[in-house]
Chains A and B, each alone.
Chain A
Amino acid sequence: MSGQKVILPLLAFIFGILSSRFIAAAEPTHPAPHATLPTGVTSIGVKECAACHSAPSPIYNALGVTRFVRLVEAKEWLERDKHAYAYQLVRQDLSPAELEKDERKSNQLSINITSKMNWKPEESKRKFEQMCLTCHVGLNAEEPLPKVDSKFNIQFGVQCESCHGPGSEYTKREHHQQVSWRAKTPEEKAELGMRNLSSPSIAAKVCLSCHLGNIDENRFVSHDMYAAGHPVLPPFDLQVFLDAMPPHWRPLQEKPSFENQAEYNRAHFDIPGNSDEIQSAIRGSYDKTRRSMLGGLVANDLGIELIHQGIAKPETWGDYSIYNCMGCHQELKKNSTQVRLQSRTPGRPFPANWLTLDYPNIHVSSQDMHASLTREMLASFDSVPFGDAQRLNQLSDKHLQSLADRFQDRRKMEKQVMSKKDVVQWLDFLNTSRKDSLTDFWVAKQTAWMVCVAIDELVERGDLTKESVSSSQKELRELLRLDLQLPQKQSVLSVQKDILKTAQQFDSARCKELIELLVNTAVSSH
């Protein structure tokens, strides 16, 4: 044991020297990339992480370390993960020849967008950092952009510490390199700066900070940015998004038992039984569906939080991007199906659907309060065009508190495992509660993702035959363009046009039928 303690950092040091060819040289320390961090914790840069996490040495294999941590993370990420290209896609310092060569035209689009934003020349660099690189690198908007050759190298896009948390503390030799690190509770790790990304709620929150937006963290695609040409953000499903990433992690189920397994399980789960029973329940959990559901719940709550963030600031209040796009963007057809009144006053923009979607309220104590506040919010949005700012503002404090309570409820929820019965119930709930909302493309797409994740997992576990669902699933995937992979050789803008065209012309009745069909197959098999 004590030998291992010495060897690990030593190997890390040696490997660090080897792997530095991989990553550009580094100089000054970059301040923390996230606003809410333990004080004094800073980012150390990809290079430091890559020292260990690029390629496992035979010694690590021999020691069995790689059965827990793959140690190829930085390499996988750098070579295959789209997050690593987040900055490359929007960088504006390419030569005309390079711009011309780029088939996706994303850098040209980036230049076009910023030129349409009407920024004053002297502030445009700062604005680009504050409004674009906050997501495209994962920068803290309050800090000046570090030099390209600094430790936190913006060229590497969204990098390790953008999601895992800044590493100045937990990478110290007495912490995450040690076997004892596994026994630490998520809270103890968080105090040292490392986020507990095995928690679906926390992981979802980290993803959504960019993939939905967070005005307080300066990560927000405003309507001005959309109008200037920024692609529309797709809806969110944690499991679908994780599936689209080359995995640089080991799922809990794949990890072997370890010395402090029982403590670990108790810290992460709240299941009755002795440690063996707990262990087997965890391994049997339908975790993909669990992640998809919890991610959806968190996305919905954060969507509401985003509305409140928008309301709170005069400069963002009324920004159209918190409203439902189709509320306004529709051609005025006779007998249009897109204009759904649903007891709203005609002609008033209505908020994006976060306030109207239902989620199951199992284990949730804050439900009643939340429901009544949500109703009040909807009424306030309807009372005058774009909503009554004053009334909405008055609701904000209470609603944010109820959202915080709900987040704690989510944390409790995720300490449970998901059984087959739960999965079928979840599917049934989705089918029933969203029937009338599927005319909205974004709701339809997110719902279809959730349904497909659950169905796929049932198939994976042998609860359903592939044949019984594959044709409906295939049709649904095409109908709603569920594939997250976008064409590489087409310009971003023309892909966008295709997606938006699909969004406005998709057959919502067929989508409803297919979802119903899939859910019924799952229910009847149960």
Chain B
Amino acid sequence: MTKQIALFRNLKIAAVTFALLLAVVEQTRGQSSTKDTSSSSNLPDDPILSGWGVDSIHRMTRGVRGAASCATSSCHGGPKAGVSSPEAPRGSEYPLWLERDPHAQSWKTISSEASVKILTKLGILLDGKIANAEGFQNCLACHNTDPNITAEQLSPRIAEGVGCESCHGPAEPWYDRHYQGSASAKFAKTNLGLTDSGPLVQRAKICASCHVGSKDRDMNHDIIAAGHPALYFDMAVYHEAYPKHWRDKDQDQSNFRSKLWLAGKIAMADAELELLESRACKSLPVSTWPELSNYQCNSCHFQLGGIPKANSQLDRELVTRGRAPVRDWNLNGFAMFSAVSSPTQSELVVSLNSLRKLLQSPNPDSKLIAAKSHQLRIQLFNAINENGKPTLPAWSMQNQTAVSIQRLDDTRQNKSWEVAAEAYTAAWATHPKSATGHLARAMNTIRNGLLFPKDLMMPNFPRQQNGGTSPSLDEWNEALQLAVVALKNDDRR
């Protein structure tokens, strides 16, 4: 046992050293990331982000060329006939994205009437003109490839929505080199800032940088209050729905979805902490503190006189009555870690709980919270670090299916929407059979019970009477029981 702990310590030291080394390399590399750090100067250096290998999608990184520059028919602007090998690049990425990918429509979303209302309420738009450029750039950071558009430059030509370089990194540093010879793409990935979206944890981190947030993309409570939907990302669910312009080698394996789900949980936790650190450092012009979207929506948003069910189940050691509990949606990855007992894991949980406690105190101390979340990110990185890359740890896959069923079963006692919805996606992702056959009906009932009521912008869960397609509480519980038994039987086979 002591040996094991010592091993973990050594690993940790090695990992930190490596992360710091990476940071130094990052500094000297220069060429690939001409960062504009002026507005994030109060954030500490971020070796972790480099460790995750996604620093090139940092919003401040410049050098975007635009999706059109990838669209040459001989490159990514196909279609190319006869490409059947799953290993072969498709060559038709651009048209696939343009025609079928919702990300290509993102510019329309932000130009819509609803968005104009939101922008006006926030004072970003005033009389149809941009009155707060920094606020607008914060929006564009997720809704457009190049966030650094000034009011004068605004035009549909520049605004392409979320294009190639949003995820793959601005092309300027590697555009000329990435197709020259068989090893050139790999070289660009390792050295020039072409994001490696192959490893699932890294891919999830790229998605999470907008769908959760990052140190320079903050969809905060002000914006939600102005009308923007709150974010509830799930990697497995989103990945399933995504019109893919690539093929994954292991996409047909039975545990692929499960891997995605896990990768998502880890990346979401890191993204949430990165965002939290940035908020606590007030690193963006839009940053506010205390930031209310760090807390569960229905801890405050409920009709007075009825205590929300979610709150009645809280651990009162952690959350004093009358204080808002921290939003767990993006931090639940840690709970999954805690299912596997090892010193590193329990350290993670201890650190997370102390961070929670700080956030739940009356006047959350921003400096302390920034430091704690930074430290927790290092711990998390160390826990998944393999040869300097964030990797799905083998232990996280062990027992994952059993754990996910257990969590679904637990929702019968602990009926908070977030817990139940997360348990549902976990069961769905770890048990591919749940989408078909005898299980599908029960799963569908559970899902319907989790949908937001028609006129509410938040869950009202669990509900006694709903009408429409929503199940009654009894029906919901019955479906839950059915699903749990069936999933367990599936596992035994």
Contacts and interface: CB of A to CB of B under 8 A. Distances in A.
Nearest to A348: B222
A425 interface: no
Given A226-B322, A318-B363, A319-B362, A331 B306 contact: no
A118 B458 contact: no
Interface residues of A, number: 40
A504 B304 contact: yes
A464 interface: no
A345 B222 CA distance: 7
Contact of A332 (B291, B292, B316, B458): B458
A503 B456 CA distance: 19
Nearest to B322: A227
Interface stretch (A85-93, A96-104, A322-330, A451-459): A322-330
Interface string B281-324: 00000001111100001001111111000000000100011110
B456 to A, nearest CB: 6
Contacts of A224: 320-323
B224 interface: yes
Interface string A323-361: 001001111111000010100011110000000000000
Nearest to A117: B321
Given A347-B292, A500-B304, A331 B460 contact: yes
B394 interface: no
Contacts, number: 96
Interface in A474-516: 496-497, 499-501, 503-504
B323 to A, nearest CB: 8
A222 B288 CA distance: 25
Interface in A118-177: 118
A113 to B, nearest CB: 10
Contacts of B223: 346-347
Contact of A386 (B290, B300, B323, B457): B290
A317 interface: yes
Contacts of B458: 331-332
B226 A347 contact: yes
B122 interface: yes
A332 B322 contact: no
Nearest to B311: A227
A333 B221 contact: no
Contacts of B323: 224, 227
Nearest to B454: A334
Contacts of B221: 347, 385
Given A346-B225, A385-B291, A501 B362 contact: no
B467 to A, nearest CB: 17
A228 interface: yes
Contacts of A317: 363
A230 to B, nearest CB: 10
B44 interface: no
A346 B303 contact: no
B127 interface: no
B303 A228 contact: no
A345 B456 contact: no
B288 A385 contact: yes
B100 to A, nearest CB: 29
A59 interface: no
A82 interface: no
Contacts of A346: 121-122, 222-223, 225-227
Given A318-B363, A347-B226, A329 B320 contact: no
Interface in B108-126: 121-123
Contact of B321 (A116, A385, A504): A116
Interface in B190-226: 220-226
A331 B304 CA distance: 9
Nearest to B363: A318
A386 B304 CA distance: 20
A318 B304 contact: no
A339 B301 CA distance: 12
B320 A118 contact: yes
A223 interface: yes
Interface string A214-232: 0000000011111110001
Contacts of B220: 347
A225 B220 CA distance: 29
Given A318-B363, A385-B288, A501 B322 contact: no
A117 B222 CA distance: 31
A379 to B, nearest CB: 14
A36 B221 CA distance: 43
B362 A333 contact: no
B455 interface: yes
A318 B457 contact: no
A332 B299 CA distance: 12
Interface in B436-455: 455
A228 B455 contact: no
Nearest to A321: B322
Interface in A256-301: none
A193 to B, nearest CB: 38
- 5 closest A-B pairs by CB: A347-B225, A227-B322, A500-B305, A346-B225, A328-B300
23 contacts: A117-B321, A223-B322, A226-B322, A227-B322, A228-B321, A319-B362, A329-B300, A332-B458, A333-B455, A333-B456, A339-B225, A345-B122, A346-B121, A346-B222, A347-B220, A347-B223, A348-B222, A385-B221, A385-B288, A385-B291, A386-B290, A500-B305, A501-B305
Given A224-B320, A329-B300, A332-B457, 12 more contacts: A117-B321, A330-B301, A330-B303, A331-B456, A332-B297, A333-B455, A345-B122, A346-B226, A348-B225, A386-B290, A499-B305, A504-B304
